[in-house]
Structure 1
Amino acid sequence: MKVLVVFYSLYGHVYRMAEAAAEGARKVYSAEVRLRQVPETLPDEVIEKMGAVEARKSFAAVPEVTLEDLTWADAIIFGAPTRFGSMSGQMRQFLDSTGGLWAQGSLVGKVGSVFTSTATQHGGQESTILSFHTTLLHHGMVIVGLPYTFAGQMGIEEIKGGSPYGATTIAGGKGERMPSDVELEAARFQGEHVAKIAVKLAT
């Protein structure tokens, strides 16, 4: 079973969630996991002005995703931060390059899943994931979310992300809040759940 975790991250929040999702997928005995990032489209000077240079160094060694990675995988978990209630432009640009795969039906029947990050609690986490699903459905993918069997998304004892649509994290207005333990556990659960569903579909 082959699982691809592909993400875009600017300050490292989504990267940490991606690592957790990959860790969860590896718990499934047959899973071979690849971690990949989508190409950056912002100029270096803009990244410097946004104060993201140091943060990006933490995942600079992660290879960039290719279309071959998508065809290789049996399941694909996508992670991207929210931009005005939808996915980041970097992820959108990468997905827009998959038209050839769509024409060939290359992703039909593969498992697809999404996680995200927002600055605030109500910053478009659910709308980002749900709008992301539209692209996956056009590719004929089988969508898997974060079921309520992950009980960590319940309760109000602390500020936390997470919904049945997918794992999420809240970064704070200045990106000062990194994913909490429960948010990382949600991503691990989602990764493992996706891999298990992919195994079932393959048998």
Structure 2
Amino acid sequence: MSEILVLYYSRHGATAELARQVARGIEQAGLQARLRTAAPVSPTPEAVDPPVPDSGAPYVRLEDLQECHGLALGSPTRFGNMAAPLKYFLDTTSPLWLQGALVNKPAAVFTSTASMHGGQETTLTSMMLPLLHHGMLLLGLPYSETALHTTRSGGTPYGASHLAGPDSDLPLTEEEEQLARALGTRLAQVTRAQLDAGLIKA
């Protein structure tokens, strides 16, 4: 079964919920979604967490990235950038870069912020940069997705997004859910086309 890795970091659950909607779109298009989260990092050197989280998706391994045929990458914004745990994991992917293991695999990004103008688009583009170095094919949301024209919360042409509010307790709006699923569906469709064309290994 062809799989797409849905990899995210979520501190309060908002980005995790967006990840689940992206995964729904992937599976509605007939591919399997593999949900994984990035392990937290500590400012204390040598601090060690248990190898398996208490709840939620398992921690990501390099093998997850290598085995899957596409990637959806999600993070809350941290001063207009991706969160440190996700960046820390991406910094460990040099062995895959040396092998060209991710070349031609489709990828998409998603984010959540506390405020409307809290850095959604810069966070999305910050996540794109390492994926470009890996030779992945970046996908956004086209304006044929009509919710992009009507949303008053999250949703950008760069990827799915969510306005979580200052307490990270706002539920996803109808438009945010629709756009997250649309992103997952588009990612699955392009991944299937890449597989059919033999441009990535099945």
| TM-score for the superposition, normalised by structure 1 | 0.87
Kindly report which structure 2 residues correspond to 1:101-180, keeping only aligned pairs within 5 A, or say none: 101-155=96-150, 159-180=152-173
Does the 8 Å CA contact 1:116/1:129 hold for their aligned counterparts?
A: yes
Distance 1:175 1:22 in 2: 21
Deviation per CA, 1:23-77, whole angstroms, max 9, x where unpaired?
1100122x1221111111248xxxxxxxxxxxx97xx231111100001111100
**CA deviation after TM superposition for structure 1 residue 173, in Å:** 1.6
Counterpart selection for 1:84 from 79, 91, 111: 79
Deviation per CA, 1:135-168, whole angstroms, max 9, x where unpaired?
1000000001111122112126xx3111110010
Does the 8 Å CA contact 1:153/1:160 hold for their aligned counterparts?
A: no
Residue 39 of structure 1 aligns to a residue whose secondary structure is coil
* Alignment-derived partner of residue 14 in structure 2: 13
Equivalent AA in structure 2 for residue 189 of structure 1? A
* Alignment-derived partner of residue 27 in structure 1: 28
Counterpart selection for 1:193 from 183, 186, 190: 186
Does the 8 Å CA contact 1:38/1:94 hold for their aligned counterparts?
A: yes
Q: Runs in 1 of length 4+ with deviation above 3 angstroms?
A: none
Identity of aligned pairs, percent? 39
Kindly report which structure 2 residues correspond to 1:41-60, keeping only aligned pairs within 5 A, or say none: 41-42=41-42, 60=55
Equivalent AA in structure 1 for residue 16 of structure 2? Y
Residue 154 of structure 1 aligns to a residue whose secondary structure is helix
* Alignment-derived partner of residue 38 in structure 1: 38
Does the 8 Å CA contact 1:6/1:77 hold for their aligned counterparts?
A: yes
Does the 8 Å CA contact 1:26/1:33 hold for their aligned counterparts?
A: yes
Equivalent AA in structure 1 for residue 193 of structure 2? K
Equivalent AA in structure 2 for residue 39 of structure 1? A
Residue 103 of structure 2 aligns to a residue whose secondary structure is coil
Distance 1:117 1:61 in 2: 18
* Alignment-derived partner of residue 3 in structure 1: 4
Q: 1:179 to 1:42 in 2, by over 3 A?
A: farther
Equivalent AA in structure 2 for residue 140 of structure 1? G
Distance 1:153 1:11 in 2: 25
Equivalent AA in structure 1 for residue 35 of structure 2? L
Distance 2:167 2:16 in 1: 17
RMSD of aligned C-alpha atoms? 1.5
Q: 1:172 to 1:61 in 2, by over 3 A?
A: closer
Does the 8 Å CA contact 1:146/1:190 hold for their aligned counterparts?
A: yes
